[in-house]
């Protein structure tokens, strides 16, 4: 009994003989690319129908380090209003850049833990808890008229006021096509 006829038989009959099989790596690559292309297409559609118009005049507000008060540009239509020290009210809908730095007082030894919070309408949008080095605060956020922003410390003695500041810059206003 000879088994020579079995040597030429394929182990799987799922594809014709000589057809290369796709590897799992190709499948993974394709399954990653397709959702990314869909996401890019969807983002392009959103930006096409909801474009942002660059702010026509600079609208900037900065608090500290010296003097320890708000310094604001004065465009015809202001974008923010100072309501208290280190507290602002947004007057225009738009995309804003918040920037700043917090310098911790490394000699502070009170029981309250070090924590600095950037809040919007009393909701924390960023928290800093590392008291061993100077830290950056901020990011790009969409705000609406009436939003209140505030930088809060657990204790005023936790930060070095002469090296701590924060500010806000209006980048773009929403522009709706009609």
Instruction: Report pLDDT for 114.
Output: 85
What tens-digit pLDDT sequence spans the chain (178 residues)? 555 555 555 555 555 565 566 676 676 666 667 666 666 565 555 555 555 555 566 788 887 776 677 777 766 778 888 887 778 999 989 999 999 998 898 888 887 788 889 999 999 999 988 888 898 999 999 999 999 999 888 887 888 888 888 889 988 877 654 4
- Distance from C-alpha of 78 to C-alpha of 88, rounded to nearest angstrom: 12
Model pLDDT, residue 121: 94
Tokens of 46: 């959103």
- Whole-number pLDDT of residue 33: 72
pLDDT at 78: 82
The three-class DSSP label of residue 9 is coil
Q: What is the pTM of this model?
A: 0.63
Rounded-to-integer distance, Cα 156 and Cα 112, Å? 11
- Contact (CB, 8 A) for 114 and 103: no
Q: With beta carbons less than 8 A apart as the criterion, state whether 129 and 114 touch.
A: yes
| 63 and 86 Cβ atoms separated by less than 8 Å | yes
pLDDT at position 178, please? Answer: 45
């Amino acid at each position: 009994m000879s088994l020579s006829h079995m040597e030429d038989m394929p182990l799987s009959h799922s594809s014709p003989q000589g057809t290369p099989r796709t590897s799992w790596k190709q499948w993974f690559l394709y399954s990653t690319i397709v959702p990314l292309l869909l996401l890019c297409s969807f983002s392009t559609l959103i930006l096409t129908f909801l474009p942002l118009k660059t702010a026509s005049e600079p609208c900037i507000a900065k608090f500290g380090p010296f003097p320890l008060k708000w310094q604001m540009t004065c465009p015809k239509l202001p974008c923010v209003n100072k309501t208290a020290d280190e507290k602002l009210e947004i007057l225009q809908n738009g995309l804003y850049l918040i920037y700043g730095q917090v310098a911790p007082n490394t000699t502070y030894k009170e029981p309250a833990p070090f924590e600095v919070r950037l809040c919007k309408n009393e909701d924390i949008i960023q928290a800093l808890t590392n008291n061993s080095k100077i830290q950056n605060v901020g990011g790009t956020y969409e705000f609406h008229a009436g939003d209140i922003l505030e930088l809060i410390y657990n204790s005023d003695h936790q930060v070095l006021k002469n090296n701590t500041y924060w500010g806000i810059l209006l980048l773009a206003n929403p522009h709706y096509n009609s």
